Amino acid sequence: MIQSASAVADGNAGGPPIADVKKTREWFVTNGLLAIIGLAFLAPMLWLALAAVDANAGWALQLPHFTLANLIAVTRGDYLQALLNTLEISLVATGVSTIAGVFGGYALSRRNIPLSDELMVGVLFLTGIPVAIMIVPVFEVFAKYDLLSLVPTGVFLGVTSLPFALWLIKTAIDAVPKELEEAATIERANILQVILHVTVPVALPGIFAAAIYSFINAWGAFLPPLVLISDPSQATGPLKIYGLIGSAAVRYGDIAAFSIVYSLPVVVLYILMSRPFSGGFSMGGAVKG
Amino acid sequence: MRPENGERRGWWKSSAAADGEQQLDAVGILLLLPATLLLVVMFIGPVGFAFYLGVTNIALVGPTAQHFHFTGLKNLHRLVNDRLFWESLKLTAIFLGASAVVGVTIIGMALAVLMQHAVTWLRTVVGAIVVVAWMLPPITAALLWYAFSTTGGTLSLLSGSDSDILNDFPMTIVCLANIWSTAGFSMLVLSSGLRTVPAEVLEAGKMEGASRWQVFRSLTLPIMRPTIVTNVLLVTLLSLANFSLIYIMTAGGPGNATNILPIYSYQQAFQFNKLAYGALLGDVVVIIATVFAYLYVRVSRPSRAGYRPQGKLA
């Protein structure tokens, strides 16, 4: 009977009555506390859900004058452009960190790299450095070489995810049986063929995790695009929301509806991610910025 | 990193196979090159460059935007005498201490423990809410918390007044928002840690007549210690990097009430145009992050097989 407070609910009435009363009380306390914490976590989300469908939304919490106009408005024009910009930046970032991560992770796992253990410690260390502090020098260089636009910013965001991606992919490749690669080599496959047709498919869950991590990281990035993107037509989702909050006539309903549309892909990706790999996937991301 | 036996030739050999042949692996280095170049040019380089910019007179606009030069200890001198910097350092410590070290750890632990014992449907629902709170992009989390705590928001309705709680208790609200948006991570890390506590040990404790709380205090907690330490360090790093949340909610205000170092650095660089001083303030953040990252590497160094740095995939 290991710590099972729900034993009572399971119909286990074998124990003495006093223990039963105690267990029932524990059951109520445990589930009650968890429910209270859950409600506390839910409370801040209420406004978003209500304001998104409210024709007269404001910062205040109120019963909505129901409308779908907000949600329809934010899937068009500027809003759609902002989502496409975010997608572009995120795809570039994902490509950069995943491709460099696969080859680098493979080299660190399989090849004879001098000091590879020390390099991995260095990589682990880099995952802890906040992105915000690189922003002044990166801005300085980007401004000098006229790189203040979407693609270079995407590359930069990809690099900020690279340490964690390298770590994930290297660990995934470590678990691939070497015999598979040996067999392919005997068949005269060259190294690129081995990596792409043998190692990558087997290590795919880990590589996929790294790719999703990079994507979500870039999708949510606020400070790097704020500083590194100068053209308003290239604004990403977060910049759009930030601009809306500060604009003269604030359209609260639009802000709420757009925030939902913008946040949805991240939540969906997380669900996709955690399903096939049996739950518990947690994004690290000291690089959230 | 399993030991090599039998087959010794072949390029797939692990780098760990130290059998004396120390020739350079050109193909391996070539494969590692893209990652290395990217990290050097756009990660390590900028961090190093930030340390140089911190001791120059570079500005965002004006004559020294292009032609800046080394100014020796001038900026450092300014830093030491900057009352706002020390204030900001104190606020950073309060923010990290209250939200990351105390708040997130306690809430994350409470969630992890309660979930172990709760009914399945409640566990699923609460787990989903907490994880969604964590997954939401920083701007959405900031927006939610702004609406939640400003005049007329849910919090002021609950408290029965019409006050602007964000304005009245800025640091408290910002800490709560950080706890709210990070507890999911902590919950997942600590839950997987809890699963590694052997059931027999807990049962033995119960046989000895220990109460639940005693079992938790003197058995579960000590066994969980390494996980808790790792979790605290990671959450501290996450919070230190969470510039957006505070910047969007309060921009460091009202006054300078929530002006933690990453925000003060951004303000100096991009609002007061003092790129050099902003970079120097950023350097202080790097040093703080370095201390925590170093501790973290130290703690997680006894690398168990398949150990992952920040998330647990399994």
Q: Cα–Cα distance between B128 and A271 in angstroms, integer?
A: 10
Output the pLDDT for position B23. Answer: 66
Do B143 and A246 touch, CB atoms closer than 8 A?
no
**Cα–Cα distance for residue pair A166/A177, rounded to 1 Å:** 19
Largest CA distance in chain A: 78
CA angle A251-A252-A253, nearest 5°?
Answer: 95
**What's the rounded mean pLDDT across residues B209-224?**
85
Q: Which of residues 22-61 of B touch A (CB under 8 A)?
A: 23-25, 27-29, 31-32, 34-36, 38-39, 41-47, 49-50, 53, 58
Quote the domain boundaries for residue B171: 83-262
pLDDT for the residue B9: 41
Nearest CB partner across the interface for B241, out of A242, A255, A286? A286
User: 3-state SS string over chain A?
Assistant: CCCCHHHCCCCCCCCCHHHHHHHHHHHHHHHHHHHHHHHHHHHHHHHHHHHCCECCCCCCCCCCCECCHHHHHCCCHHHHHHHHHHHHHHHHHHHHHHHHHHHHHHHHHHCCCCCHHHHHHHHHHHCCCCHHHHHHHHHHHHHHCCCCCHHHHHHHHHHHHHHHHHHHHHHHHHCCCHHHHHHHHHCCCCHHHHHHHHHHHHCHHHHHHHHHHHHHHHHHCCHHHHHHCCCHHHCCHHHHHHHHHHCCCCCHHHHHHHHHHHHHHHHHHHHHHHCCCCCCCCCCCCCCC
SS3 assignment for A188-207: CCCHHHHHHHHHHHHCHHHH
Q: Which of B55, B75, B121, B139 to probe the A interface (max A CBs under 10 A)?
A: B139
Question: Using N-to-C axis directions, what is the helix angle for A135-144 and B275-300, rounded to 10°?
Answer: 130
Distance in angstroms (rounded) separating the CA atoms of residues A52 and A49:
6
Supply A43's token pair: 């409370």
Closest CA to A27 of A47, A44, A7, A45: A7
Residue B98: give its domain's CATH number.
1.10.3720.10
Long-range contacts from B122-127, C-beta under 8 angstroms, 24+ separation = B122/A31, B122/A34, B122/A35, B122/A38, B123/A34, B125/A38, B126/A34, B126/A35, B126/A37, B126/A38, B126/A41, B127/B187
Answer yes or no: are the C-beta atoms of A159 and A97 closer than 8 Å: yes
- Taking residue B72's Cβ as centre, other Cβ atoms within 10 Å add up to 9
Cβ <8 Å between B11 and A191: yes
Check CB contact under 8 Å for B301 and A121.
yes
Half-sphere exposure of residue B230: CA atoms within 13 angstroms, side-chain side: 25
Closest C-alpha among A210, A215, A183 to residue A199? A183
Task: Report the pLDDT value the prediction gives residue A19, as an integer from 0 to 100.
Answer: 67
Nearest chain B residue to A186 by CA: give it: B10
Amino acid, single-letter form, for residue A59: W
B40 in a domain, yes or no? no
Domain count, chain B: 1
Residue A156 near chain B (CB below 8 Å) = yes
C-alpha A207: how far from its chain's center?
A: 14
Rounded to two decimals, the pTM is 0.83
| Secondary structure of B98-148 in HEC code, one letter for each residue | HHHHHHHHHHHHHHHHHHHHCCHHHHHHHHHHHHHHHHCCHHHHHHHHHHH
**Quick check: is B240 in a domain?**
yes
The amino acid at residue A113 is I
Q: How many helices (H) and strands (E) does chain A have?
A: 13, 0
Identify all chain A residues contacting B313, using CB atoms and an 8 Å cutoff. 168, 205-206, 209, 277, 280-281
Give the CA count within 13 Å in the CB-facing half-sphere of B25: 23
CA separation for the pair A288, B309 (Å, rounded): 15
Predicted local confidence at residue B114, as pLDDT: 92
What is the token pair recorded at B64? 């020294």
**A80-116 pLDDT, tens per residue?**
999 999 999 999 999 999 999 999 999 999 888 888 8
Is the pLDDT at B17 greater than 70? The verdict is no
* pLDDT tens figures, A125-164: 888 888 888 888 898 889 889 999 999 999 999 999 999 9
Residue B249 identity (one-letter amino acid) = M
Q: What is the pLDDT of residue B15?
A: 44
> pLDDT at position A269, please?
86
Comparing A104-113, B6-15, B138-147, B151-160, the range with the smallest average pLDDT is B6-15
**ipTM for this model:** 0.81
Does A136 sit within 8 Å of B53, measured CB to CB?
A: yes
Q: What is the pLDDT of residue A22?
A: 76
Q: Where are the alpha helices (DSSP H) in chain B?
A: 26-39, 45-53, 74-80, 83-95, 105-117, 120-135, 138-149, 154-159, 165-168, 170-195, 199-207, 212-215, 221-241, 243-249, 261-266, 275-300
DSSP summary character for residue A60: S
Reply yes or no on whether the pLDDT at B66 is more than 80: no
Counting every residue written for chain A, the total comes to 289
**Digit-coded pLDDT (tens) for A195-231:** 998 899 989 888 998 999 899 999 999 999 999 998 8
pLDDT band at residue B299 under the 50/70/90 scheme:
confident
In chain A, pLDDT over 70 holds for what percent of residues?
88
Q: How many residues appear in chain B? A: 314
- Is residue B33 a contact partner of residue A115, using CB atoms and an 8 Å limit? no
Alpha carbon of B171: minimum distance to chain A alpha carbons (Å)? 17
Beta carbons of B285 and B236 less than 8 angstroms apart? no
A277 contact B CB<8A: yes
Give the residue on B whose Cα is nearest the Cα of A274. Answer: B313
The DSSP letter of residue B63 is: G
Residue A173's nearest CA partner among A97, A278, A98, A102 is: A102
CB-closest option in B7, B150, B312 to A59: B150
Question: Which CATH fold topology does A71-274 show?
Answer: MetI-like fold (1.10.3720)
Burial of B118 from C-beta contacts in 10 A (0-12 / 13-18 / 19+):
buried
Tell me: pLDDT of A2 over 70: no
Interface check for A186 against chain B (CB to CB < 8 A): the answer is: no
Kindly state the average pLDDT of the residues A37-54: 90
- CB–CB of B284/B261 below 8 Å? yes
**How far off is chain A from B150, nearest CA to CA, in Å?**
7
B70 forms beta bridges with B56
Which of A44, A127, A255 has the CB atom closest to B145's CB atom? A44
Provide the shortest C-alpha distance from residue A22 to chain B (in Å). 12
**What tokens were used for A175?**
């678990």
Record: contact B270-A227, CB cut-off 8 A: yes
